Structure 1
Amino acid sequence: MSMRVTFLGTSGAVPTTRRNPSAVFVNREGDRLLFDAGEGTQRQMMRFGTGFAVSDVFVSHLHGDHVLGIPGLVQTMDFNEREDPLTIHVPRGTGDDVNDLVHAAGNRPSFPVRVSEVAPGETVVRREEYEVRTFRTDHDANAVGYALVEDDRKGRFDRERAEELGVPVGPKFSKLHEGEPVELDDGTVVRPEQVVGDPRPGRRFVYTGDTRPSEQVVAAAEDADLLVHDATFASDRADRAADTAHSTAAHAGEIAQRAGAVRLALTHISSRYAGDVSAHLTEASETFDGEVFVPEDGETREIPYPDG
Protein backbone atom coordinates (compact mmCIF):
# COMPACT_ATOMS: atom_id res chain seq x y z
CA MET A 1 0.00 0.00 0.00
CA SER A 2 1.30 3.43 -0.89
CA MET A 3 1.87 6.34 1.45
CA ARG A 4 2.92 9.57 -0.27
CA VAL A 5 3.73 12.83 1.48
CA THR A 6 3.57 16.09 -0.49
CA PHE A 7 5.02 19.22 1.09
CA LEU A 8 2.67 22.03 0.07
CA GLY A 9 4.15 24.72 2.32
CA THR A 10 7.52 24.71 4.06
CA SER A 11 8.15 28.32 5.11
CA GLY A 12 8.12 29.86 8.54
CA ALA A 13 5.67 32.59 9.51
CA VAL A 14 6.70 34.79 6.56
CA PRO A 15 6.29 33.18 3.12
CA THR A 16 8.89 33.60 0.40
CA THR A 17 8.73 33.39 -3.39
CA ARG A 18 9.83 29.74 -3.07
CA ARG A 19 8.05 28.65 0.09
CA ASN A 20 4.39 28.85 1.07
CA PRO A 21 3.18 28.77 4.69
CA SER A 22 2.76 25.43 6.43
CA ALA A 23 0.80 22.57 4.85
CA VAL A 24 1.62 18.88 4.40
CA PHE A 25 -0.57 16.51 2.37
CA VAL A 26 -0.59 12.76 2.98
CA ASN A 27 -2.18 10.25 0.61
CA ARG A 28 -2.37 6.85 2.25
CA GLU A 29 -3.79 4.42 -0.26
CA GLY A 30 -6.41 6.93 -1.37
CA ASP A 31 -7.15 8.39 2.07
CA ARG A 32 -6.19 12.06 1.74
CA LEU A 33 -5.21 13.96 4.88
CA LEU A 34 -3.98 17.54 5.30
CA PHE A 35 -1.79 18.69 8.16
CA ASP A 36 -2.14 22.46 8.68
CA ALA A 37 -3.38 24.84 5.99
CA GLY A 38 -1.43 28.07 5.68
CA GLU A 39 -2.52 30.89 3.38
CA GLY A 40 -2.78 29.80 -0.24
CA THR A 41 -2.93 26.07 0.47
CA GLN A 42 -5.70 25.53 -2.07
CA ARG A 43 -3.51 27.01 -4.81
CA GLN A 44 -0.63 24.76 -3.79
CA MET A 45 -2.95 21.77 -4.01
CA MET A 46 -3.84 22.73 -7.56
CA ARG A 47 -0.26 23.52 -8.48
CA PHE A 48 1.09 20.19 -7.25
CA GLY A 49 -1.84 18.01 -8.26
CA THR A 50 -3.01 16.62 -4.95
CA GLY A 51 -6.68 17.40 -5.55
CA PHE A 52 -9.11 18.61 -2.90
CA ALA A 53 -10.66 15.32 -1.80
CA VAL A 54 -9.29 15.47 1.74
CA SER A 55 -11.42 13.91 4.46
CA ASP A 56 -9.62 15.49 7.42
CA VAL A 57 -7.57 18.59 8.19
CA PHE A 58 -5.31 18.34 11.25
CA VAL A 59 -4.49 21.77 12.70
CA SER A 60 -1.48 21.96 15.00
CA HIS A 61 -2.25 25.44 16.39
CA LEU A 62 -3.95 28.68 15.47
CA HIS A 63 -1.10 30.92 14.36
CA GLY A 64 -2.00 32.47 11.03
CA ASP A 65 0.63 30.70 8.95
CA HIS A 66 -1.01 27.39 9.86
CA VAL A 67 -4.72 28.19 9.48
CA LEU A 68 -5.33 31.16 7.17
CA GLY A 69 -5.72 28.81 4.22
CA ILE A 70 -8.82 27.22 5.73
CA PRO A 71 -11.39 29.80 4.49
CA GLY A 72 -10.13 29.70 0.92
CA LEU A 73 -9.83 25.91 0.91
CA VAL A 74 -13.37 25.41 2.18
CA GLN A 75 -14.76 27.89 -0.34
CA THR A 76 -12.84 26.23 -3.17
CA MET A 77 -14.27 22.86 -2.15
CA ASP A 78 -17.73 24.43 -2.17
CA PHE A 79 -17.21 25.90 -5.66
CA ASN A 80 -16.24 22.39 -6.81
CA GLU A 81 -19.65 21.12 -5.61
CA ARG A 82 -18.26 18.98 -2.85
CA GLU A 83 -20.80 16.84 -1.02
CA ASP A 84 -18.63 14.71 1.26
CA PRO A 85 -18.18 15.90 4.85
CA LEU A 86 -14.93 17.48 6.04
CA THR A 87 -13.59 17.19 9.58
CA ILE A 88 -11.15 19.79 10.90
CA HIS A 89 -9.31 18.64 14.03
CA VAL A 90 -8.10 21.50 16.25
CA PRO A 91 -6.52 21.86 19.71
CA ARG A 92 -9.03 21.92 22.53
CA GLY A 93 -10.37 25.39 23.22
CA THR A 94 -9.87 26.69 19.67
CA GLY A 95 -12.95 25.26 17.98
CA ASP A 96 -14.96 28.48 17.97
CA ASP A 97 -12.14 30.41 16.31
CA VAL A 98 -11.73 27.81 13.58
CA ASN A 99 -15.48 27.68 13.06
CA ASP A 100 -15.31 31.44 12.48
CA LEU A 101 -12.62 30.86 9.85
CA VAL A 102 -14.77 28.29 8.08
CA HIS A 103 -17.59 30.85 7.88
CA ALA A 104 -15.38 33.88 7.11
CA ALA A 105 -16.97 36.61 4.97
CA GLY A 106 -20.37 35.05 5.45
CA ASN A 107 -19.41 31.75 3.82
CA ARG A 108 -21.95 28.97 4.35
CA PRO A 109 -20.56 25.71 2.98
CA SER A 110 -23.11 23.52 1.25
CA PHE A 111 -21.36 20.38 2.48
CA PRO A 112 -20.97 19.30 6.13
CA VAL A 113 -17.96 20.77 7.93
CA ARG A 114 -17.28 19.47 11.44
CA VAL A 115 -14.78 21.14 13.76
CA SER A 116 -13.52 18.62 16.31
CA GLU A 117 -11.49 19.70 19.34
CA VAL A 118 -8.69 17.34 20.36
CA ALA A 119 -6.25 17.03 23.25
CA PRO A 120 -2.81 15.40 23.53
CA GLY A 121 -2.84 11.65 23.98
CA GLU A 122 -6.02 10.97 22.01
CA THR A 123 -6.73 8.79 19.00
CA VAL A 124 -8.65 11.26 16.85
CA VAL A 125 -9.12 9.13 13.74
CA ARG A 126 -9.45 5.35 13.62
CA ARG A 127 -9.72 3.69 10.23
CA GLU A 128 -9.08 0.25 8.86
CA GLU A 129 -5.34 -0.42 9.18
CA TYR A 130 -4.28 2.90 10.75
CA GLU A 131 -5.06 5.67 13.21
CA VAL A 132 -4.06 9.28 13.84
CA ARG A 133 -2.98 10.18 17.37
CA THR A 134 -2.23 13.50 19.02
CA PHE A 135 0.74 14.35 21.21
CA ARG A 136 1.81 17.38 23.22
CA THR A 137 4.22 19.90 21.72
CA ASP A 138 5.98 22.90 23.31
CA HIS A 139 4.94 26.09 21.56
CA ASP A 140 3.70 29.50 22.67
CA ALA A 141 0.14 28.56 21.72
CA ASN A 142 -2.37 25.83 22.42
CA ALA A 143 -0.69 23.24 20.20
CA VAL A 144 -0.57 19.54 19.39
CA GLY A 145 1.32 17.32 16.99
CA TYR A 146 -0.06 14.37 15.05
CA ALA A 147 1.17 10.84 14.39
CA LEU A 148 -0.29 8.62 11.66
CA VAL A 149 0.39 5.09 12.88
CA GLU A 150 -0.39 2.00 10.83
CA ASP A 151 -1.41 -1.30 12.39
CA ASP A 152 1.02 -4.20 12.36
CA ARG A 153 0.78 -6.32 9.24
CA LYS A 154 0.48 -10.08 9.14
CA GLY A 155 3.72 -12.02 9.23
CA ARG A 156 5.11 -13.54 6.05
CA PHE A 157 3.60 -16.85 4.99
CA ASP A 158 6.19 -19.61 4.52
CA ARG A 159 4.76 -21.53 1.60
CA GLU A 160 7.68 -23.91 1.40
CA ARG A 161 7.29 -24.91 5.05
CA ALA A 162 3.53 -25.30 4.63
CA GLU A 163 4.04 -27.70 1.74
CA GLU A 164 6.64 -29.62 3.76
CA LEU A 165 3.99 -30.09 6.46
CA GLY A 166 1.59 -31.46 3.88
CA VAL A 167 -0.75 -28.49 3.52
CA PRO A 168 -2.28 -28.60 0.02
CA VAL A 169 -2.07 -25.49 -2.11
CA GLY A 170 -5.40 -23.67 -1.88
CA PRO A 171 -7.82 -22.30 0.72
CA LYS A 172 -5.94 -23.80 3.68
CA PHE A 173 -3.02 -21.47 2.90
CA SER A 174 -5.30 -18.47 3.34
CA LYS A 175 -6.80 -19.81 6.56
CA LEU A 176 -3.36 -20.28 8.08
CA HIS A 177 -2.27 -16.80 7.04
CA GLU A 178 -5.43 -15.41 8.66
CA GLY A 179 -4.52 -17.13 11.94
CA GLU A 180 -6.72 -20.21 11.77
CA PRO A 181 -5.39 -23.77 12.27
CA VAL A 182 -6.20 -26.31 9.56
CA GLU A 183 -6.69 -30.07 9.68
CA LEU A 184 -5.14 -32.27 6.99
CA ASP A 185 -6.71 -35.39 5.52
CA ASP A 186 -4.73 -37.61 7.88
CA GLY A 187 -5.99 -35.71 10.93
CA THR A 188 -2.79 -33.69 11.49
CA VAL A 189 -3.41 -30.16 12.66
CA VAL A 190 -1.14 -27.42 11.35
CA ARG A 191 -1.07 -24.26 13.43
CA PRO A 192 -0.51 -20.74 12.04
CA GLU A 193 2.63 -20.17 14.09
CA GLN A 194 4.26 -23.08 12.25
CA VAL A 195 4.08 -21.34 8.87
CA VAL A 196 3.53 -17.62 9.56
CA GLY A 197 6.27 -15.28 10.76
CA ASP A 198 6.02 -12.59 13.41
CA PRO A 199 3.78 -9.56 12.72
CA ARG A 200 5.53 -6.87 10.71
CA PRO A 201 5.32 -3.21 11.73
CA GLY A 202 3.38 -0.69 9.69
CA ARG A 203 4.59 2.81 8.93
CA ARG A 204 4.63 5.87 11.17
CA PHE A 205 4.40 9.48 9.94
CA VAL A 206 4.86 12.19 12.58
CA TYR A 207 4.14 15.90 12.15
CA THR A 208 5.13 18.27 14.96
CA GLY A 209 3.92 21.66 13.77
CA ASP A 210 5.78 24.41 15.65
CA THR A 211 7.62 23.30 18.78
CA ARG A 212 10.67 23.63 20.95
CA PRO A 213 12.62 20.38 21.49
CA SER A 214 10.30 18.16 23.51
CA GLU A 215 10.41 14.82 25.30
CA GLN A 216 6.83 14.25 24.17
CA VAL A 217 7.92 14.51 20.55
CA VAL A 218 10.70 11.98 21.16
CA ALA A 219 8.13 9.52 22.50
CA ALA A 220 5.62 10.14 19.71
CA ALA A 221 8.29 9.84 17.01
CA GLU A 222 9.73 6.54 18.21
CA ASP A 223 10.82 4.55 15.13
CA ALA A 224 9.07 7.04 12.82
CA ASP A 225 9.56 6.31 9.16
CA LEU A 226 9.26 10.04 8.52
CA LEU A 227 9.44 12.77 11.16
CA VAL A 228 8.45 16.23 9.91
CA HIS A 229 9.93 18.57 12.51
CA ASP A 230 10.08 22.32 13.09
CA ALA A 231 13.52 23.62 12.09
CA THR A 232 12.76 27.32 11.83
CA PHE A 233 16.33 28.41 12.55
CA ALA A 234 19.90 27.27 12.20
CA SER A 235 22.13 27.37 15.28
CA ASP A 236 23.14 30.99 14.59
CA ARG A 237 19.66 31.90 15.89
CA ALA A 238 19.37 29.40 18.73
CA ASP A 239 18.42 32.15 21.20
CA ARG A 240 15.72 33.37 18.86
CA ALA A 241 14.40 29.80 18.53
CA ALA A 242 14.10 29.48 22.29
CA ASP A 243 12.42 32.88 22.66
CA THR A 244 9.83 32.16 19.96
CA ALA A 245 9.17 28.51 20.93
CA HIS A 246 10.73 26.97 17.86
CA SER A 247 13.55 24.50 17.17
CA THR A 248 16.83 24.70 15.33
CA ALA A 249 17.87 22.14 12.74
CA ALA A 250 20.33 20.70 15.26
CA HIS A 251 17.50 20.32 17.79
CA ALA A 252 15.41 18.50 15.21
CA GLY A 253 18.31 16.18 14.44
CA GLU A 254 18.78 15.38 18.12
CA ILE A 255 15.09 14.58 18.51
CA ALA A 256 15.10 12.33 15.44
CA GLN A 257 18.23 10.53 16.64
CA ARG A 258 16.82 9.89 20.11
CA ALA A 259 13.52 8.70 18.66
CA GLY A 260 15.21 6.27 16.29
CA ALA A 261 13.51 7.87 13.28
CA VAL A 262 14.47 6.71 9.81
CA ARG A 263 13.97 10.00 7.91
CA LEU A 264 13.82 13.62 9.03
CA ALA A 265 12.21 16.46 7.08
CA LEU A 266 13.18 19.95 8.28
CA THR A 267 10.32 22.41 7.76
CA HIS A 268 8.98 25.83 8.78
CA ILE A 269 12.17 27.43 7.49
CA SER A 270 12.54 31.10 8.42
CA SER A 271 12.56 33.54 5.50
CA ARG A 272 15.89 34.90 6.72
CA TYR A 273 17.56 31.82 5.19
CA ALA A 274 15.97 32.46 1.77
CA GLY A 275 17.24 29.79 -0.63
CA ASP A 276 20.28 28.72 1.40
CA VAL A 277 19.48 25.87 3.77
CA SER A 278 22.95 24.37 3.76
CA ALA A 279 23.48 25.17 7.45
CA HIS A 280 20.24 23.38 8.33
CA LEU A 281 21.33 20.24 6.52
CA THR A 282 24.83 20.29 7.97
CA GLU A 283 23.71 20.86 11.55
CA ALA A 284 20.93 18.27 11.50
CA SER A 285 23.26 15.71 9.90
CA GLU A 286 25.75 16.21 12.72
CA THR A 287 23.20 15.07 15.27
CA PHE A 288 21.15 12.57 13.22
CA ASP A 289 22.60 9.67 11.28
CA GLY A 290 19.48 8.85 9.27
CA GLU A 291 18.26 10.50 6.07
CA VAL A 292 17.71 14.25 6.48
CA PHE A 293 16.35 16.72 3.93
CA VAL A 294 14.83 20.17 3.64
CA PRO A 295 11.85 19.69 1.32
CA GLU A 296 10.98 22.22 -1.33
CA ASP A 297 7.34 23.14 -1.88
CA GLY A 298 5.81 20.49 -4.12
CA GLU A 299 8.32 17.80 -3.18
CA THR A 300 6.74 14.36 -2.77
CA ARG A 301 8.19 11.47 -0.82
CA GLU A 302 7.00 7.86 -0.84
CA ILE A 303 7.29 6.23 2.58
CA PRO A 304 8.29 2.57 2.27
CA TYR A 305 7.54 -0.12 4.83
CA PRO A 306 10.22 -0.63 7.49
CA ASP A 307 11.04 -4.08 6.13
CA GLY A 308 11.50 -2.72 2.62
Structure 2
Amino acid sequence: MEPTGRAADRTDREAAGKTIGKAIGKAGDEQAARWNGPAGNAWVEAQDMVDALFAPLEELLVEAVPAGQGGRVLDVGCGTGGTTVALARRLGAEGECVGVDISGPMVEAARARAAREDARASFVRADAQDHVFEPAVFDAVVSRFGVMFFEDPVRAFTNLRRAAKENAGLRFIVWRDIAENAFMTTAERAAAPLLPDLPERRPDAPGQFALADADRVRRLLEESGWAGIELRPVDAACVLPETELIPYFSRFGPVGIALRETDERTLRRVVETVRAAFDPFVHGAEVRFTAACWQIDASASGG
Protein backbone atom coordinates (compact mmCIF):
# COMPACT_ATOMS: atom_id res chain seq x y z
CA MET A 1 0.00 0.00 0.00
CA GLU A 2 1.28 3.51 -0.87
CA PRO A 3 1.79 5.81 2.18
CA THR A 4 -0.68 8.70 2.38
CA GLY A 5 -1.09 11.98 4.30
CA ARG A 6 1.48 12.63 7.02
CA ALA A 7 3.08 9.26 6.48
CA ALA A 8 3.68 10.15 2.84
CA ASP A 9 5.12 13.53 3.80
CA ARG A 10 7.44 11.88 6.31
CA THR A 11 8.52 9.31 3.72
CA ASP A 12 9.21 12.08 1.20
CA ARG A 13 11.24 14.05 3.74
CA GLU A 14 13.24 10.98 4.71
CA ALA A 15 13.92 10.18 1.06
CA ALA A 16 14.96 13.76 0.38
CA GLY A 17 17.22 13.73 3.43
CA LYS A 18 18.91 10.55 2.27
CA THR A 19 19.41 12.02 -1.20
CA ILE A 20 20.94 15.21 0.19
CA GLY A 21 23.08 13.20 2.60
CA LYS A 22 24.41 11.07 -0.25
CA ALA A 23 25.16 14.17 -2.31
CA ILE A 24 27.01 15.82 0.57
CA GLY A 25 28.89 12.62 1.27
CA LYS A 26 29.95 12.31 -2.36
CA ALA A 27 31.04 15.94 -2.50
CA GLY A 28 32.92 15.51 0.76
CA ASP A 29 34.72 12.50 -0.68
CA GLU A 30 35.68 14.61 -3.70
CA GLN A 31 37.11 17.32 -1.45
CA ALA A 32 39.07 14.76 0.55
CA ALA A 33 40.44 13.18 -2.63
CA ARG A 34 41.42 16.59 -3.97
CA TRP A 35 43.28 17.79 -0.88
CA ASN A 36 44.94 14.45 -0.17
CA GLY A 37 46.18 14.16 -3.75
CA PRO A 38 47.99 16.47 -6.15
CA ALA A 39 46.31 19.66 -4.86
CA GLY A 40 47.52 19.07 -1.32
CA ASN A 41 50.98 18.13 -2.52
CA ALA A 42 51.16 21.31 -4.61
CA TRP A 43 50.52 23.44 -1.53
CA VAL A 44 53.23 21.57 0.38
CA GLU A 45 55.75 22.07 -2.42
CA ALA A 46 54.94 25.79 -2.65
CA GLN A 47 54.42 26.52 1.05
CA ASP A 48 57.18 29.14 1.34
CA MET A 49 55.87 31.05 -1.66
CA VAL A 50 52.26 30.89 -0.45
CA ASP A 51 53.24 32.02 3.06
CA ALA A 52 55.07 35.05 1.68
CA LEU A 53 52.28 35.87 -0.76
CA PHE A 54 49.53 35.99 1.85
CA ALA A 55 51.57 37.29 4.80
CA PRO A 56 49.45 40.49 5.08
CA LEU A 57 46.34 38.39 5.63
CA GLU A 58 48.06 36.18 8.21
CA GLU A 59 48.80 39.31 10.23
CA LEU A 60 45.08 40.13 10.42
CA LEU A 61 44.40 36.76 12.04
CA VAL A 62 47.33 36.92 14.45
CA GLU A 63 46.33 40.36 15.73
CA ALA A 64 42.90 39.00 16.69
CA VAL A 65 44.53 37.10 19.57
CA PRO A 66 45.92 38.93 22.66
CA ALA A 67 49.69 38.62 22.86
CA GLY A 68 51.26 36.58 25.64
CA GLN A 69 48.04 35.74 27.45
CA GLY A 70 47.90 32.03 26.72
CA GLY A 71 44.68 30.24 25.86
CA ARG A 72 43.73 27.86 23.07
CA VAL A 73 43.03 28.83 19.46
CA LEU A 74 41.65 26.68 16.65
CA ASP A 75 43.00 27.30 13.13
CA VAL A 76 40.54 25.88 10.59
CA GLY A 77 41.91 24.73 7.25
CA CYS A 78 45.40 25.27 8.61
CA GLY A 79 47.20 23.99 5.51
CA THR A 80 50.93 23.69 6.08
CA GLY A 81 50.71 25.44 9.44
CA GLY A 82 52.20 28.88 8.86
CA THR A 83 49.33 30.72 10.53
CA THR A 84 49.03 28.08 13.25
CA VAL A 85 52.67 28.49 14.26
CA ALA A 86 52.42 32.29 14.13
CA LEU A 87 49.38 32.17 16.42
CA ALA A 88 51.15 29.81 18.81
CA ARG A 89 54.02 32.30 19.10
CA ARG A 90 51.51 35.09 19.72
CA LEU A 91 49.83 33.16 22.55
CA GLY A 92 53.07 32.62 24.42
CA ALA A 93 54.35 29.78 26.58
CA GLU A 94 51.00 29.18 28.27
CA GLY A 95 49.04 28.95 25.05
CA GLU A 96 48.44 26.42 22.29
CA CYS A 97 47.14 26.66 18.75
CA VAL A 98 45.45 23.61 17.22
CA GLY A 99 45.34 23.33 13.43
CA VAL A 100 42.78 21.18 11.64
CA ASP A 101 42.87 20.28 7.97
CA ILE A 102 41.47 17.57 5.73
CA SER A 103 44.76 17.18 3.85
CA GLY A 104 47.16 14.54 5.08
CA PRO A 105 50.17 15.91 3.16
CA MET A 106 49.60 19.41 4.49
CA VAL A 107 49.11 18.27 8.08
CA GLU A 108 52.36 16.31 7.91
CA ALA A 109 54.14 19.42 6.61
CA ALA A 110 52.55 21.50 9.37
CA ARG A 111 53.73 19.11 12.07
CA ALA A 112 57.25 19.21 10.66
CA ARG A 113 57.17 23.01 10.63
CA ALA A 114 56.00 23.21 14.25
CA ALA A 115 58.73 20.79 15.31
CA ARG A 116 61.41 22.82 13.51
CA GLU A 117 60.23 26.03 15.14
CA ASP A 118 59.58 24.46 18.55
CA ALA A 119 56.07 25.92 18.52
CA ARG A 120 53.26 25.03 20.91
CA ALA A 121 51.08 23.89 18.04
CA SER A 122 49.35 20.60 17.38
CA PHE A 123 47.48 19.34 14.35
CA VAL A 124 44.47 17.19 13.58
CA ARG A 125 43.82 15.63 10.22
CA ALA A 126 40.03 15.84 9.96
CA ASP A 127 37.11 17.57 8.28
CA ALA A 128 36.25 20.46 10.60
CA GLN A 129 32.66 20.17 9.44
CA ASP A 130 32.18 16.85 11.22
CA HIS A 131 35.11 16.35 13.57
CA VAL A 132 34.08 15.80 17.18
CA PHE A 133 35.98 18.55 18.99
CA GLU A 134 35.94 18.71 22.77
CA PRO A 135 33.10 21.14 23.56
CA ALA A 136 33.72 24.72 24.67
CA VAL A 137 37.54 24.59 24.82
CA PHE A 138 38.74 27.25 22.36
CA ASP A 139 39.16 30.92 23.21
CA ALA A 140 39.16 31.84 19.51
CA VAL A 141 38.55 30.23 16.13
CA VAL A 142 40.37 31.60 13.08
CA SER A 143 40.85 30.71 9.43
CA ARG A 144 42.64 32.06 6.38
CA PHE A 145 40.93 30.78 3.25
CA GLY A 146 39.98 27.55 5.03
CA VAL A 147 36.20 27.75 5.42
CA MET A 148 35.00 28.16 1.82
CA PHE A 149 35.04 24.45 1.00
CA PHE A 150 32.41 23.12 3.42
CA GLU A 151 29.65 21.11 1.78
CA ASP A 152 27.23 22.16 4.53
CA PRO A 153 28.39 25.52 5.96
CA VAL A 154 25.70 25.70 8.65
CA ARG A 155 26.65 22.28 9.96
CA ALA A 156 30.31 23.26 9.87
CA PHE A 157 29.96 26.61 11.64
CA THR A 158 27.61 25.03 14.18
CA ASN A 159 30.27 22.43 14.91
CA LEU A 160 32.88 25.15 15.38
CA ARG A 161 30.48 27.08 17.63
CA ARG A 162 30.19 24.05 19.92
CA ALA A 163 33.98 23.89 20.19
CA ALA A 164 34.23 27.55 21.20
CA LYS A 165 33.99 28.87 24.75
CA GLU A 166 31.25 31.31 25.62
CA ASN A 167 32.19 34.75 24.22
CA ALA A 168 35.03 33.27 22.17
CA GLY A 169 35.82 35.16 19.00
CA LEU A 170 35.60 33.95 15.43
CA ARG A 171 37.67 35.59 12.71
CA PHE A 172 38.17 34.34 9.20
CA ILE A 173 39.39 35.71 5.89
CA VAL A 174 37.64 34.78 2.64
CA TRP A 175 37.63 36.11 -0.91
CA ARG A 176 35.15 38.77 -1.97
CA ASP A 177 33.37 38.68 -5.30
CA ILE A 178 35.02 37.03 -8.27
CA ALA A 179 34.71 40.30 -10.25
CA GLU A 180 36.94 42.03 -7.69
CA ASN A 181 39.68 39.41 -7.97
CA ALA A 182 40.74 39.42 -11.60
CA PHE A 183 44.17 37.99 -10.80
CA MET A 184 42.60 34.85 -9.34
CA THR A 185 40.71 34.00 -12.54
CA THR A 186 43.18 35.24 -15.18
CA ALA A 187 44.63 31.77 -15.75
CA GLU A 188 41.33 30.00 -16.36
CA ARG A 189 39.93 32.79 -18.55
CA ALA A 190 43.04 32.76 -20.74
CA ALA A 191 43.27 28.95 -20.84
CA ALA A 192 39.57 28.27 -21.50
CA PRO A 193 39.87 28.14 -25.33
CA LEU A 194 42.68 25.60 -25.04
CA LEU A 195 41.20 23.61 -22.17
CA PRO A 196 37.48 23.31 -22.96
CA ASP A 197 36.80 20.93 -20.07
CA LEU A 198 37.70 23.40 -17.32
CA PRO A 199 35.01 23.18 -14.62
CA GLU A 200 32.50 26.00 -14.45
CA ARG A 201 32.44 27.98 -11.22
CA ARG A 202 29.03 27.62 -9.54
CA PRO A 203 27.79 30.32 -7.13
CA ASP A 204 27.52 29.11 -3.53
CA ALA A 205 29.22 25.79 -4.36
CA PRO A 206 32.22 24.84 -2.22
CA GLY A 207 35.22 26.66 -3.56
CA GLN A 208 37.28 29.82 -3.57
CA PHE A 209 34.38 32.29 -3.81
CA ALA A 210 31.72 30.34 -1.89
CA LEU A 211 31.50 32.98 0.87
CA ALA A 212 31.78 36.11 -1.26
CA ASP A 213 28.16 37.17 -0.64
CA ALA A 214 28.03 39.19 2.59
CA ASP A 215 24.31 38.59 3.17
CA ARG A 216 24.76 34.85 2.77
CA VAL A 217 27.66 34.84 5.21
CA ARG A 218 25.58 36.65 7.85
CA ARG A 219 22.70 34.23 7.38
CA LEU A 220 24.95 31.15 7.61
CA LEU A 221 26.61 32.37 10.79
CA GLU A 222 23.35 33.40 12.44
CA GLU A 223 21.84 29.98 11.67
CA SER A 224 24.96 28.40 13.20
CA GLY A 225 24.61 30.21 16.53
CA TRP A 226 27.18 32.98 16.10
CA ALA A 227 26.39 36.56 17.13
CA GLY A 228 27.86 40.05 16.69
CA ILE A 229 28.66 39.37 13.05
CA GLU A 230 30.74 42.02 11.30
CA LEU A 231 32.20 42.05 7.80
CA ARG A 232 35.02 44.39 6.87
CA PRO A 233 36.40 44.64 3.33
CA VAL A 234 40.15 44.12 3.17
CA ASP A 235 42.29 44.91 0.14
CA ALA A 236 45.66 43.28 0.68
CA ALA A 237 48.64 44.16 -1.52
CA CYS A 238 50.22 40.86 -2.56
CA VAL A 239 53.60 40.43 -4.24
CA LEU A 240 55.00 37.40 -6.04
CA PRO A 241 58.46 37.10 -7.65
CA GLU A 242 58.03 37.04 -11.43
CA THR A 243 60.08 33.85 -11.51
CA GLU A 244 57.33 32.15 -9.46
CA LEU A 245 54.44 33.16 -11.74
CA ILE A 246 54.47 30.16 -14.09
CA PRO A 247 54.94 27.66 -11.24
CA TYR A 248 52.06 29.41 -9.46
CA PHE A 249 49.40 29.21 -12.18
CA SER A 250 50.55 25.80 -13.43
CA ARG A 251 50.20 24.28 -9.94
CA PHE A 252 47.04 25.80 -8.50
CA GLY A 253 43.40 26.23 -9.38
CA PRO A 254 41.43 24.68 -12.25
CA VAL A 255 44.23 25.25 -14.74
CA GLY A 256 46.82 23.62 -12.49
CA ILE A 257 44.59 20.58 -12.10
CA ALA A 258 43.92 20.33 -15.84
CA LEU A 259 47.58 20.64 -16.78
CA ARG A 260 48.45 17.52 -14.81
CA GLU A 261 46.52 15.46 -17.34
CA THR A 262 47.22 17.25 -20.62
CA ASP A 263 49.72 16.44 -23.35
CA GLU A 264 53.04 18.23 -23.64
CA ARG A 265 52.08 20.28 -26.70
CA THR A 266 48.90 21.61 -25.11
CA LEU A 267 50.75 22.30 -21.87
CA ARG A 268 53.29 24.49 -23.69
CA ARG A 269 50.53 26.40 -25.50
CA VAL A 270 48.58 26.96 -22.31
CA VAL A 271 51.61 28.14 -20.36
CA GLU A 272 52.58 30.58 -23.13
CA THR A 273 49.02 31.94 -23.46
CA VAL A 274 48.36 32.25 -19.77
CA ARG A 275 51.71 33.85 -19.00
CA ALA A 276 50.97 36.57 -21.55
CA ALA A 277 47.57 37.20 -19.96
CA PHE A 278 49.28 38.03 -16.66
CA ASP A 279 51.37 40.84 -18.21
CA PRO A 280 49.22 43.62 -16.65
CA PHE A 281 50.22 42.34 -13.21
CA VAL A 282 53.96 42.09 -13.94
CA HIS A 283 56.14 45.00 -12.86
CA GLY A 284 59.76 44.21 -13.52
CA ALA A 285 60.86 41.39 -11.24
CA GLU A 286 57.59 41.39 -9.30
CA VAL A 287 54.00 40.34 -9.83
CA ARG A 288 51.61 42.58 -7.92
CA PHE A 289 47.91 42.25 -7.32
CA THR A 290 45.26 43.13 -4.77
CA ALA A 291 43.52 40.37 -2.84
CA ALA A 292 39.96 41.62 -2.33
CA CYS A 293 38.77 39.83 0.80
CA TRP A 294 36.33 39.94 3.69
CA GLN A 295 37.54 39.94 7.27
CA ILE A 296 34.62 38.39 9.14
CA ASP A 297 34.31 38.59 12.92
CA ALA A 298 31.69 37.05 15.19
CA SER A 299 31.21 35.99 18.80
CA ALA A 300 30.13 32.75 20.46
CA SER A 301 27.71 34.55 22.75
CA GLY A 302 24.01 34.27 23.45
CA GLY A 303 23.98 30.68 24.71
- Taking structure 1 as the reference length, the TM-score comes to 0.36
Is the radius of gyration larger for structure 1 or structure 2?
1
- Taking structure 2 as the reference length, the TM-score comes to 0.37
